[in-house]
Amino acid sequence: MNNHFKHHVFFCLNQRPNGEACCQDKGAEAAFDYMKAQVKKLGLRGEGKVRINRAGCFDRCAEGPLMVVYPEAVWYTFIDNEDVDEIIESHLMHDKVVKRLLVE
């Protein structure tokens, strides 16, 4: 099987109404912007490399904020840019899952 991207990362950027828990309220948009910029800066973006995309609700709101990395289907949560940097360095660059940030 030939994947267009080595890693395809999706961020839940859903905003729920009426103050319901959602990834958008937990800093997902800022983390998305940061990861996208870092991947570009590090030269990891493009065909055969990494793609960072927006996604709607993953229906796991209480576990957020969330991102999922395909084709491995590895689900991560994150708190800050240091967590995002660790996912980039470990998973996207060296194919090593960041176990402490996993969401099962």
Confirm whether pTM is higher than 0.85.
yes
Task: Show the domains of the chain with their CATH numbers.
Answer: 7-101 (3.40.30.10)
pLDDT tens-digit map of 8-65 = 999 998 887 777 777 777 889 999 999 999 999 999 999 999 999 999 888 888 888 9
Rounded-to-integer distance, Cα 72 and Cα 7, Å: 8
Q: Which 8-state DSSP code applies to residue 14?
A: -
What is the DSSP annotation of the chain? ---SSSEEEEEE----STT---GGGGTHHHHHHHHHHHHHHTT-BSTTSEEEEEE---S-GGG-SEEEEETTTEEEE-SSHHHHHHIIIIIIHH----GGGB--
